[in-house]
Amino acid sequence: MDRKTNLRVARPTNNFEEIMRFYIAGLGLEELGSFEDHDGFDGMMMGMSGAPYHLEFTRKRGHDAGRAPTKDNLLVFYLPDEQEWQAAVDRMVKAGYLPVPSFNPYWDRDGRTFEDPDGYRVVLQHGTWSN
């Protein structure tokens, strides 16, 4: 692994259209690509053009993908600029998604948590992360 490595987080969903709305209209990601009936799977990739990460959601007709196994399955986005963070939270609320209490109260101190239609959670964290 090195800094040129890209990350794709992929998971199935039973709520394909609702998931697209949550991550695109709510979170503000862009559709980066999609496919239909690839060996029985439909899918969409979303993220920010040029970013080293993206998400992929798939569905397979006749397959039950299930829901998140716990309330602590998280994607965390760090937004250090207060105005950008507040705009991201406001966009989620405007799209109809209200914050939920985090399972781990740490994320409520400087962030807001939103639950997607499959029960997986996204944290908009006002702060930075350094490695």
The answer to whether residue 2 sits within a structural domain is no
Segment 14-60, tens digit of pLDDT? 999 999 999 999 999 999 999 999 999 999 999 999 999 999 999 99
131 pLDDT more than 80:
no
Q: What is the CATH number of the domain that holds 108?
A: 3.10.180.10
Domain interval for residue 39: 7-60
Q: Is residue 34 part of a domain?
A: yes
Asked if residue 47 and residue 88 are part of one domain, the reply reads no
Same domain, yes or no, for 56 and 92? no
The candidate with the shortest Cα–Cα distance to 75, out of 43, 38, 33, 113, is 113
Do 80 and 118 lie in one domain? The reply is yes
- Tell whether 102 is covered by a domain: yes
